[in-house]
Amino acid sequence: MSSRPRSATLVLEGKRQPPFVAGLLRMTYQVARRRQLEVQFEHGFTDLTQAHLNVLVYPPPDGVRPIELAERTFMTKQAMNYLLGELEERGYMERRAEKGRRGVRVYLTRRGWRFFETQWSAMQQLEDEWAAIVGRKDFAGFLGILRRLSARERDPIRDEPVRGRRAGGRPSGLNRSKSETSRRDKIAR
């Protein structure tokens, strides 16, 4: 007898057809990311890599603390600080000390804002192309569904909307203690 779980058997026997929603979203995101890279190079932003694009995401990282940006992008503080240093050296961002506080905030430079304007223009063009393929009404409905689903993410323990950083100081769903995990599992049952 196989030790394969029933859910895997259902997928392998074709009763549920992959790719599932996460795979489809990732594959669509990769199409958009490729377009961003093409446009980025066409407009002279040849000094950025995929890793830098992970920092330069919506909403623009302007006026945020590096720790908040690390949490938003699911990076370690060390990785984020490394990338911020590179983006500073290349003229896309600057870190400024907060007045009267020990912390710093990250701000986009004029070059950083030009990069975002270029990316937004590229994404508007891609959305127009996709709307022409599936129909404007269907595409508008698709965007509406994505907005509703992304706004619905909730913390299962507190039953409240997840908005970036949790009161406990870490992004929701990450690094839960054993007691939090078992409590969450009990709630889910």
Domains and CATH numbers, the chain: 6-151 (1.10.10.10)
Strand-pair partners of 165: 171
* Model pLDDT for residues 91-103, shown as the tens digit of each residue: 999 999 988 888 8
pLDDT for residue 7: 76
Please tell me the pTM assigned to this model: 0.70
Joined tokens for residue 63:
């006026």
Q: Pick out the chain residues at pLDDT < 50.
A: 156-157, 164-189
pLDDT for residue 35: 94
Q: What is the rounded distance in angstroms from the CA atom of residue 51 to the CA atom of residue 79? A: 10
pLDDT for residue 1: 58
